[in-house]
């Protein structure tokens, strides 16, 4: 597969095509459009999730991270409290 890609990359026809500004401009627009579509779909998903009261994947990930941080803090505080208690 890599060998085939290398052969294709060294093909003079591909080099000529890639050096055409119109072809490259069109290719860049196509790549940009894909990112724009994804961004707009993400925005629409967030709005829809908010309307229906559903947490987004990003919100759930943030919540999980917060819970993990709180659990770590509680464990640290419990360990300190246990260490500070006098022995019975």
Average pLDDT score over residue span 60-76: 97
Structure tokens, 85: 């208690």
Question: Given this model, what pLDDT does residue 6 score?
Answer: 79
Contact between 46 and 56 (Cβ < 8 Å): yes
Residue 29 pLDDT > 90, yes or no? no
- Residue 10 token pair: 């060294």
Which pTM was predicted? 0.50
Residue 80 predicted with pLDDT over 90: yes
pLDDT at 68: 98
Q: What is the overall mean pLDDT for the chain?
A: 87
The rounded distance, in Å, linking the Cα atoms of 79 and 71 is 12
What is the DSSP code (8-state) at residue 88? -
Higher-pLDDT residue of 65, 3: 65
């Amino acid at each position: 597969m890599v060998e085939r890609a290398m052969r294709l990359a060294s093909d003079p026809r591909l080099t000529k095509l890639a050096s055409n500004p119109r072809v490259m401009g069109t290719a860049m627009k196509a790549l940009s459009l894909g990112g724009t579509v994804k961004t707009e779909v993400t925005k629409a998903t967030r709005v829809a999730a908010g309307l229906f009261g559903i947490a987004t994947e990003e919100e759930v990930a943030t919540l999980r991270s917060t819970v993990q941080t709180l659990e770590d803090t509680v464990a640290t505080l419990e360990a300190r409290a246990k260490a500070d208690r006098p022995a019975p």
